[in-house]
Amino acid sequence: MVVADAAANKAENNDDATILVRVSTEGRLIVVLDVFPLSFFLGRKGVERMNVEKGGKKAPLLQQSFIRHGNEQGFWQQGSRILAAVSGGVDSMVLLHLLLQVQRQIGFSLGIVHINHQLREESAEEAAYLRSYCEEKNLPLYVSIWEDPAKSAIETEARNFRYQEFTRVMEEGQYDTLMTAHHGDDQIETVLMKIVRGGQLNTFSGIKEVQPFAAGRLVRPLLSFSKEDLYTYAAESQLVYFEDQTNQLLDVQRNRLRHLVVPQLKQENTQALRHFQQFSQQIQWADQVIQKYMGQLIEKEVEQWEEQFRFSAEMIEEMTDAERYYFFYSFFDKAFSKTGIILKEQQMESILDQWQQKKSQWQLSIGNNWILKREYHFVVLSKKEKQATSQTENQRLLLIPEQGIYLNETEWIGLVKPENAGDIKATDSWSLFSHDIWIPADVQLYVEKRKAGDRIKLTENLTKKVSRYFIDQKVPNSQRQHAWIITDAKRNIYSLIPFAFSYLSIREETDKIHYILLYKYQKEAIGRRT
């Protein structure tokens, strides 16, 4: 930030009782020399005043507050290994200076990590100054260079690179805590950006003061302080720092909020920073309560297999819209490690709409080859099923007694004598459907897929369409497609596999031969049977 001497002289004659700074610059290097009104220093309206009396010092109070809060929250202790992310800007240089004061009292280890993004010509100058500073203070310095900066989505990619490097340095240097210089103004900007962009409740919470990171944690100890607080501290402590001129560019959303919106909010209410901090904390707490309750419910009610989740549809029906909303968001969060799916708001609207329509069966494509569906009494999240690898799907295959047939990789069928049926059993991965069947000696049986209009004789006087049987028995669509029928040459149905057997199969007569029809299938591949 460059301030002309003439303007500074004018400011010195102002009776404004707010502590500010006159600076001298070499390029972009800022060295504190004196004090002058804050309104001039920032050069814009809507600035939150420091309310420090003329001649007073704010830095000691900020330092005391910083140390007291850090002690209360356990940000450090003797033996801690703290890694501070330092860019060279006013925020991080203030953080570094404060940490050095605490270090003298506590005695923890302190290291510095600096990321050179190579996006500005001044980056080398900043890195050189930090190297000299750390040598003077006998601080270990880790410099990471972004060798191949991104050409698009630069902000996102730069952030990803920073935190990858932070993780690497923490692990290699065995640091337990990473500290960054995010402050209260950053919090306001972040909350506003997230509200504008939209998202789930937890995304509106803004910046967390403490959160897990790498093998340790990430701490942001300056969130309770404003940007003005940090400028004042830097001035009174005569800190050297650099200003990134790209932070003034209004083609970046954060910068627009920083320069055009946040000052207006502070002008509306001088307590805006504190209120945003409270809002962020309240959102975090609300999300924690929701996640705790829904986590317990999911743990109790959701069944899980390798590529399938299942829970009661009746449970969802009994919920309010609000409960359904947070249940499904929590459920998909829990399932993320298996599915890789982050549920979008539009998808959530589609799910809730299905419940409003009160359909007994429906399905939605969620992404990553996963399907969410209702099947009568259950809601199922499962992988889309692979096409059968066998050629049997559209064929009519002859069932030869005592000779089994692999219909595909996950299904087997056979017609065996009763005395041989005991050799074929269910296993942990294979389920078994079987029943007695009597057939005339001159009748041959076939296995094939059902067709529209097929009918099955259930009792002596009752015949139903197979499709009607499925509806009456509430057989899910996903299971219907796996059904096979056993027929004779005239397409009389002897068995509907693996659901029911026909009345034709149980007529015990002396001129009929007794067999056992055996069908084995893999539950995970075919689906659970009713």
Q: Which residues of 82-102 are buried (b: 16+ CB within 10 A; e: fewer)?
A: bbbbbbbbbbbbbbbbbbeeb
**pLDDT of 31 higher than 70:** no
**If DSSP codes are grouped into helix, strand and coil, which group holds residue 163?**
helix
Confidence of residue 427 (pLDDT cuts 50, 70, 90): low
Percent of the chain having pLDDT more than 70?
A: 84
pLDDT at 20: 35
pLDDT at 34: 38
Residue showing tokens 């390029």: 27
* pLDDT single digits (tens) 442-477: 888 888 888 888 888 888 888 888 888 888 888 887
**If DSSP codes are grouped into helix, strand and coil, which group holds residue 29?**
strand
At residue 23, what are phi and psi to the nearest 5 degrees? Answer: -125, 155
Percent of the chain having pLDDT more than 90?
A: 35
**pLDDT of 153 higher than 80:** no
Q: Which helix (H) or strand (E) holds 6?
A: helix 5-12
**pLDDT of 375 higher than 90:** no
pLDDT at 385: 66
* pLDDT single digits (tens) 251-270: 778 889 888 988 999 898 88
Instruction: Please say whether the beta carbons of 188 and 196 come within 8 A.
Output: no
- Please state, in angstroms and rounded to a whole number, the distance separating the CA atoms of residues 23 and 32: 5
State which amino acid sits at residue 190: T
The token pair that represents 122 in the structure block: 């001044």
Instruction: Please say whether the beta carbons of 399 and 413 come within 8 A.
Output: yes
- Residues 203-224 have a mean pLDDT of 92
**Please, which residues have CB within 8 angstroms of residue 468's CB and are 6 or more apart in sequence?**
none
Winning range, highest mean pLDDT, from 35-39, 55-59, 195-199: 195-199
Confidence of residue 424 (pLDDT cuts 50, 70, 90): low
- Residues 409-436 have a mean pLDDT of 76
Instruction: Please say whether the beta carbons of 398 and 486 come within 8 A.
Output: no
pLDDT at 167: 95
- Residues 287-303 have a mean pLDDT of 94
Q: Which of 31, 84, 35 is nearest to 232 (CA)?
A: 35
pLDDT at 1: 35
* pLDDT single digits (tens) 212-222: 999 999 999 99
**Helical segments of 237-382, H only:** 253-256, 262-268, 272-301, 313-317, 321-339, 345-357
Confidence of residue 164 (pLDDT cuts 50, 70, 90): very high
The number of angstroms, rounded, from the C-alpha of 412 to the middle of its chain's C-alpha atoms is 41
Q: Which helix (H) or strand (E) holds 169?
A: helix 154-173
